[in-house]
Structure formats: C-alpha cells, structure tokens
Structure 1
C-alpha cells in the first residue's frame, strides 16, 4: 500500500465518501505512509477527487455498465483518482494510467486490473469529445442539489459565483503576532525569504500571500512570530475590540486561532477563558497558546450549559458557534458530502440554545460577537433576527456596509476571504 499513492488516495476517498469520515482526519493517516513530495501529491489527489466528485462519478457511470459494490467498491475510487489525474493534473497520461492500474494490487483488487486499465484508456479516447447532453446543476457545479437550492434561495443574484468560488483552491493568509513583530517588519522578513505578499487587509492587517508556501518556510513560525489564519477569521478579534482589564470568554474556541489573536491584540486583559466541548480539540488551543507564548484558562465544557462557569460574568464574549461550515468549502470540500440538508435545522436549534445560554454570562453593557463560518441565512441573519425579537435587552451594532443588513456576511472569495458571518450585540 505504501508504495502506491493512488491506492492510498482511493482508500482515503472511500473512507470519506462511503464511511462519512473527515478528510482532515483520514488524509494524515495515509500521508504517514509516504515521504517528501509524495505527501503533497497524495493531498492533491484526495482533495481533487472530493472537490470534483459529482463530475467524476458522472464520467465513471458513462464508462462502466455495472457499478462496483461491496469489497470492490474501493476500486471505484481508484478509477475516480485515475480520471481526476487525466482531467485536472499535469501528470503525463501514461504515468497516470499506469500508476493507477498498479494501485489495484495493494488494494487487493488485482482481478480488476484489466477493467480499470480499460476504463481509463476508454476515458482518454473520448476525453475531448464534447457532449450536447445538458448536465444537472449538481454535476455542472459539483455541489449537492440540496445545497445549490439553499444558495439559490439565499443569493439569487450570486449563487453561481458562490459555487464557483467554492471550487477554487484556498489562498494562504497570515496573522502577524504583534507581541513579537510589527506587520511591516514581518513583511520585510517575508521579502528577505522571497515570499511575496499580494495584499494586506486594512481592518485586521491580515496578510494574503501571492501563493501558498510550506509552513517550514515562514520566518519565525516556530518561534511564534506568525500564524496561518484566513482573513475572514482574523476579523473576529478586531471586531470584539477587547480592552485592558476586561474578562473575556471565547466560546467553542478550538483550535484557538481567535483566542490567540484576542490576546495578541490586548495583552493586558484581566482574564481570558477559552472553552470547547471537545477535549482533543482543546489540546490544539493549548498548543497554539504555547507556540505563541500566550496564556489563557482553557476549559472542556459545553457552551449550551453553565456547569463549567464560576459565576463571574464576562465583559466580552466571542461565540464562534457550531455551524454547517458552508463558508469554508474551498478549504474543506468534504463538507459538501458530510453535511445533509437535515443537519441545518439541528444546527440552528443548537445555535439558539448556545446563544441564549452564553448571553446570560454577559455583563450588562457587555459585548457579544456571534460568528459562524457559514453562508446560510438560517444560521446567520435569520438566527440573529430571531434572537433580537426574543431578547429585549439585546441591541445590534451595525458592522455591515449597509444600514439595512443584519450583521456582516462575507461570501467565499470576497476580498480573497472565506465565507464568514459576524453580528455584534450589546447587552442593554
């Protein structure tokens, strides 16, 4: 298995699509079996297949009379890996076909080797033929039908633009640790390392690189001088605007990027508490704090209850609510296949419960910043509209460009950022 990257990619994609595993969990397991540049190729193949899944599935259906099922199902994903290479990579056709066919043996599908070879060669022969058959939107845009309908309903003018943005490879944004460096000084370090910056966000000072680089090449990364964090996520700490001497809570904090950013911007807090229901993910908060030389109280706790709370109300609360993740599909294309339409209603109810509970922990006059990495109105402006109707002591601070908007909805690739939503509330 370890000698064939295509076999590893097929196994990883099988686990994601058929078993509902996360790509973030499955890919590292397979990457452990390869070294150097092969890790990058394996990532490219896995992300590519998951990104273009409906289109690749359509291609296979046109080429195979009878679907592969049962123990042979993993070979279906090997064929998807092969077709992805032939359509979307610069790997020479003969190498893509040969290596993919050879992947049958480590997957214990040797009896299907001739069939896999035939399917890939048949695809190559017909690759440039243009079909006049109209494709359904799910295949054309490589998104599930239920999601396309929700985006069409929420964004009738921009739905195609959003789906197209979701198919792009994500850019790399940096957050300079202003405890250790000014943004300008760090840009000089990047220039010396021949790493180009394409823009700086005016509000958050986030840096967008011209192209992504290996984390090992970032000057001072392991000394805590810089972090990788999307430009949209970097708006949170700036919008929260913590002041010296305040007691701050970061709710649903893992993996801790926003916790750390709050501390970087305001080192003179009275206290900083980060809670998350997942103990394993909370460990990543502690790792990030340690690398950056920062400290916070971390608690494994459920934001929907106050069993973890010591009774001291907070001056400001960041609630990065559990959500559908539909704003970060370009970074996590498996969201398209792991999420179901029914999940959204469940998430909306969970968000309501957490928002109501966390509001009770906020001091009168305090600020709560509600955030999601979703673009679905149900989870965002509609959620806040409902909260404002139910909660008479809550008022909305305008942070959007238009006075009519409820909160600030960032769409995928808007100003190069991920899809994100923010609403800023004051407790009267």
Structure 2
C-alpha cells in the first residue's frame, strides 16, 4: 500500500506511472501496479471524497497519497462486501476485506516517521467514510470530475468531439484494456500459438489475420512462445499499421518514431525490406533492438538511429523511402485504459502543443517520400485535433498528396457502446503523386 502511495504521489507531481513502477522493487511491483492503476481510474472521485472528509489535508504529500489509496481500496472493499458471491467489480485488483484496508493503512502510516503524527487522522477519516459512505459519495458525485474520473477539460473535449458517445467512451476507458498478441509469422502461425495457449490452459481466440486475443491478461513469461519470439504484445489497433502500409520486398522503409518497436517488427515480419528506425530517446531505441533480437529480425537490413524525425538534415542521406510510418507523439488519449495516469498528467494545452509537433514532423517526413511512395500518419489519440483535423490540413498543405483508404478514427467502443478489443487510434494514409 505504501509503495502504491509513493507512485500516486509521483503521478500527482507530474511523473509517469510507468517510470515509477520500473523503479518499484520487483517483489512489490505487481501488487503496486494493480493498486496504482485502480487509484488512477478512481482518482477524481477519491480526491473529492478526501476534500469532503478532511478540512485541511496535512502538508505531507505521501500521507495525502496514502489517504487516496486507502479510500479507493476501502470503497471497493465495501462494494465487494455488499455483493457477496458476485463477479469482482475490478478484475485487475485483489479484493481486500474492509478491516484489512483500514488496519494496513494505519500500519503504513505508523511505520513512517513523518506520518506518525497523522495516523490518528487517517484512521478517523477512513472510519468516518465507512459510517457515512452513501451520503459522502452522493455529494461527491455532483462534481463531474468525481463522476467520470477525468479532468474537466478532458470531459469537455470528448463531449464536444463525440456528443452521442462521450459517456460510453469515458466509461470504457475506465476499464482495464484487453491483452492481444501479434504472431510473428516468420517463426510461428496463429494456429500454432492458439494450440500452445490451449495446451497451457490459456483461453484465447483469433484476432484478424495474425493476432490472438487473450481472455485475461497475464505476464508474458507465463505465455508459451515468448522466449522463442513467436509473438509480440500489441493492441489490435496498432496491429493495423504495418498492414496498411503494405511493405513489399526490396522497399526502403522508414519507421520515424519507432520505440518500443512493435510496428517496426511487424514491418519486418511482412516483407524483406531495408528498414531505418528512428527515435529521439536512446534508451527506448535500445528496446527496439532488444525486441527485434528476440523476434529474430535484427540484421544488416535494419538501421537504428537516435535522431529527431522532424530534422531530416541531421539523419537523412537523401535516398527517398518507398514508405514512411509516422506514428507521431500525441496525448495518448486513446490508450488511457492501459495507462490510466495519462489523464492526470496531461493538460489541455498539450493538445495544441502535440498537434503543432505532429504537423512539423509529417511535413518534414513528406520530403523523404519518393514519388509514388506512401506515408502513414498514426496517433493513439481520440482527439480530432490529432486525427482527422491533421489529415485534412495535411492535404491542404501538400498538393502532391493523395489520400488513400484507411480506417480513420478507431474508438475503444463498439457500435453498441460496449468496450472494444481496439484502443483509440487514428490512421490516415497518403500517396505522393508522381
């Protein structure tokens, strides 16, 4: 619980939860991730509950985070106690007994010298919540940020972009995302992977031409074929990128924002191409190399370079590419169910900022595409400013661009409003006229 509190505190101060979890001791990481993700998905509500229960929060950031973690776990414990025998409300989180949550929270505070003076406040606050839970929740839910567990500006932008779907989009992104695999067809096949999964007692089903959808997520080391490079973990939406680009053997291809390398690998799996992969982060680029090595795809036809895609003069040798994949930086608003801290890390100004960066990158990359070649613009966002608006503006800026068929905006919900296997993604494919 204390490790999770440190993670929550770090997110509230602007640090990525992924970075926090990477620094968490291995023996605590799985439990801490489950609790931290759960708190992120209910943070708006818990902050409002905290505000109603505590007149003045002590100036100890870790104590405040521990209080938020405790309230989130306690609320879920009460839900489980009131619905015995029913399916767990949160499949990604172990269900704790009510008294266990209170006792462990107080013990965690008592074990930290700077929090000892506040352990009585923590105990009283949690027990007060238990006594008045229904009334407190009813009052807290009057605040839209508490009701939906997103910042006000995020709710407003989604509502404006999707007036008929906004509620289901917000609700669906508050549930854990499904786990999908993309089969490495150079080493295995979907049928072989499905057979190995069935033998291991893992429930799974086919997904597209080369994908497999798991009924429940699990660590990759527990899934047959990981070390052998049979597959990569990749969302169903992201699996469409390489297929849309349709690389052919002999092509020269650029993956402009490559890390962590899932789409890079997929391009190499589909055809014998000469591939250059760029990324501005050297450590993330190393991950691309490690992933390609595991999949048996790293060879003399692959070049990895730490460089800024928006500055071709620094890395481009002047030889045009047959195809360019521009999976550009974005707000990541389409993958918030997998990274629930994103909503609390982003600011409204980030939408315009990333849109400006995206324009700069694709305009620079367009110069590197050969006449008759293709550029695939991709973002993991549901905000139109980073999707359809970008595609339309690109066509206005480039008279030699022809828009080809592509999915456009993908949403993490089905037509009936249920949660989908697909993350929020946007694709626009352009051909360069001769």
Taking structure 2 as the reference length, the TM-score comes to 0.91
Q: Distance in 1 between the 2:132 and 2:23 partners?
A: 35
Q: Please say if residues 49 and 137 of structure 2, whose CA atoms lie closer than 8 Å, have aligned partners that are also in contact.
A: no
Q: Distance in 2 between the 1:333 and 1:130 partners?
A: 24
- 1:281 aligned to which of 281, 284, 287: 284
Quote the offset at 1:168 in angstroms.
Answer: 0.4
SS in structure 2 at match of 1:83: helix
Q: Distance in 2 between the 1:91 and 1:233 partners?
A: 35
Cross-structure match for 1:44: 34
Q: Please say if residues 7 and 107 of structure 1, whose CA atoms lie closer than 8 Å, have aligned partners that are also in contact.
A: no
SS in structure 2 at match of 1:327: helix
Cross-structure match for 1:147: 154
Map of 1:282-297 to 2, 5 A cutoff? Answer: 282-295=285-298, 296-297=302-303
Q: Please say if residues 13 and 46 of structure 1, whose CA atoms lie closer than 8 Å, have aligned partners that are also in contact.
A: yes
Q: Please say if residues 327 and 420 of structure 1, whose CA atoms lie closer than 8 Å, have aligned partners that are also in contact.
A: yes
Q: Distance in 2 between the 1:223 and 1:157 partners?
A: 45
Map of 1:2-21 to 2, 5 A cutoff? Answer: 6-17=1-12, 19-21=13-15
Q: Distance in 1 between the 2:168 and 2:251 partners?
A: 41
Quote the offset at 1:344 in angstroms.
Answer: 1.1
Q: Distance in 2 between the 1:224 and 1:194 partners?
A: 20
Q: Please say if residues 326 and 419 of structure 1, whose CA atoms lie closer than 8 Å, have aligned partners that are also in contact.
A: yes
Quote the offset at 1:30 in angstroms.
Answer: 2.0
- 1:58 aligned to which of 41, 48, 60: 48
Map of 1:192-231 to 2, 5 A cutoff? Answer: 192-197=199-204, 199-202=205-208, 204-231=209-236
Cross-structure match for 1:28: 22
SS in structure 1 at match of 2:333: coil
Quote the offset at 1:131 in angstroms.
Answer: 5.8
Q: Does 1:81 align with 2:86?
A: no
Q: Please say if residues 193 and 225 of structure 2, whose CA atoms lie closer than 8 Å, have aligned partners that are also in contact.
A: no
Q: Distance in 2 between the 1:94 and 1:151 partners?
A: 39
SS in structure 2 at match of 1:167: coil
- 2:372 aligned to which of 365, 378, 398: 365
Q: Distance in 1 between the 2:29 and 2:328 partners?
A: 32
SS in structure 2 at match of 1:398: strand
Closer, same or farther: CA 135–128 of 1 in aligned 2, 3 Å? closer
Q: Please say if residues 74 and 107 of structure 1, whose CA atoms lie closer than 8 Å, have aligned partners that are also in contact.
A: no
Cross-structure match for 1:170: 177
SS in structure 2 at match of 1:236: helix
Taking structure 1 as the reference length, the TM-score comes to 0.92
Q: Distance in 2 between the 1:107 and 1:77 partners?
A: 14
Quote the offset at 1:48 in angstroms.
Answer: 1.2
Moved more, 74-83 or 98-107: 98-107
Map of 1:409-424 to 2, 5 A cutoff? Answer: 409-414=409-414, 415-424=420-429
Moved more, 123-132 or 246-255: 123-132
Q: Please say if residues 201 and 231 of structure 1, whose CA atoms lie closer than 8 Å, have aligned partners that are also in contact.
A: yes
Cross-structure match for 1:3: none
Cross-structure match for 1:186: 193
Q: Please say if residues 129 and 136 of structure 2, whose CA atoms lie closer than 8 Å, have aligned partners that are also in contact.
A: no
Q: Distance in 2 between the 1:40 and 1:379 partners?
A: 33
Q: Does 1:378 align with 2:385?
A: yes
* 1:152-206 C-alpha deviation (Å, 9 max, x unpaired): 1111111111101110011100111111111111111111011111x4333x432
Structure 2 gap segments, 5+ residues each: 78-94, 415-419
Moved more, 103-112 or 207-216: 103-112
Structure 1 gap segments, 5+ residues each: 1-5, 401-407
Closer, same or farther: CA 92–131 of 1 in aligned 2, 3 Å? closer
Root-mean-square deviation (CA, aligned residues, Å) is 1.4
Quote the offset at 1:136 in angstroms.
Answer: 2.5
Q: Does 1:68 align with 2:58?
A: yes
* 1:292-330 C-alpha deviation (Å, 9 max, x unpaired): 111221000101111111111100011001101000000
SS in structure 2 at match of 1:8: helix
Q: Distance in 1 between the 2:283 and 2:15 partners?
A: 17
Q: Distance in 2 between the 1:362 and 1:160 partners?
A: 40
Quote the offset at 1:413 in angstroms.
Answer: 3.9
SS in structure 1 at match of 2:177: coil
Q: Please say if residues 7 and 106 of structure 1, whose CA atoms lie closer than 8 Å, have aligned partners that are also in contact.
A: no
- 2:336 aligned to which of 309, 324, 329: 329
Closer, same or farther: CA 141–132 of 1 in aligned 2, 3 Å? closer
Map of 1:234-273 to 2, 5 A cutoff? Answer: 234-266=239-271, 268-269=272-273, 271-273=274-276
Quote the offset at 1:361 in angstroms.
Answer: 0.2
Cross-structure match for 2:317: 310
